[in-house]
Structure 1
Amino acid sequence: MEESSSSSRPKKKLDGKVAIVTGGASGIGEETTCRFIGHGAFVVIANIQDEKGQAFVSSLGVNVLGVIACVKHAARAMVEGRVKGSIICTASNVAEIGSPKKFDYVMSKHAVLGLVRSASKALGPNGIRVNCVSPGAVGTLLLCAMYSKEKEEVESHIEQFSHLKGVLKTGHVADAVVFLASDAAEFITGHYLVIDGGSHF
């Protein structure tokens, strides 16, 4: 008997899962949203793009307080609803290696790492995994605007620091997020997954 197309279709990594992606309208967040949808997840996008929101954008404001608020409210809803799942934050490879500049940014990303490790222990008994991806520099529109350079120029500079051939792209980071969200990572929590071609060591 011939199988129906729906029964023969291979199961996607995130079939039936719901994902909330902050900063999902551009850069790494946008690519992650596309990957989640491609793997069968239902995605809700939360993003700050208006002037009022941009005025609040600062390393300590968004990277620490914003992440704390997201984890707090997501965890509360998941615990109350008895939903097992995964919370994935975005840190940075500079949380490990530091930087002679942008002290506030480095501090904020190190704080994210501390939050992830503590929250993973607190929420583990509820079946909730908490991890973070820690990418190196990616040639997003935000980074290009920060340095007032074209994407090709920014990526050429980034490539110098990688121990692998090629340039770190948003898709590399999004693939790592998909992995941590999937059942393939069901026993991984409190983890700091660096995606930077080895430039952190």
Structure 2
Amino acid sequence: MAENSGAGAEPITIKKYANRRLYNTQSSSYVTLDYLAQMIKDGTDFVVYDAKTGEDITRSVLTHIIVEEEAKGQSLLPLGFLRHLISFYGDSLQSLVPSYLEQSMQSFAHNQEQMRHYMRDAFGGMNPFAQFEDMGRKNMALFENAMKMFAPDLERGAKPEGGGKGDKPARTSSPVGGEQSKSDVAEMRAKLTEMQKQLDALAGKK
């Protein structure tokens, strides 16, 4: 399959009808989820729209593909990773998780050829997982830096307002609030550390 795989090419439009059939508008043919999965593996970009409403449903279709692949026994997502991922829904950090996961997977994909080389060399006594661990540490450092940018007060506590001569210092948070902030940071780091372990395990399965 070599459809629309060139750099900068427009994504192929797939339409999904009420009967759940998927229609490739470029080839004027109906396709299956397996076909779409192969398009992704071939580097062919596509978007999926609801044929009736015109809504972009690419995300739900990609999620469906993952569910189908997992059901076939080709499991890539450890249970612990799935549980931690679900726990972030509705969490204050939810908005940051997608970019963190995307950066991690982009880093993995960018270095996949080098990783395959490490895996081949492993039979000669080299440990390839040291490379995965190094990547994991770098990803965690990137995410922690992003967290400091988005929520510096979690680390430093609230700063007094004003600061000019004669200004009265603003009321600072109570000790209880400070302890709560520290607790939130500790919980956040624990969650991120555990998620990083799951990502490392995911990389190891590849």
Question: What TM-score range do you get, normalising by the shorter chain?
Answer: under 0.3
Bigger Cα Rg? 2
In the superposition, the TM-score normalised over structure 1's length comes to 0.24
Q: Given the two structures, how large is their TM-score scaled by the length of structure 2?
A: 0.24
**Greater strand percent: which structure?**
1
Q: Which has the higher helix share?
A: 2
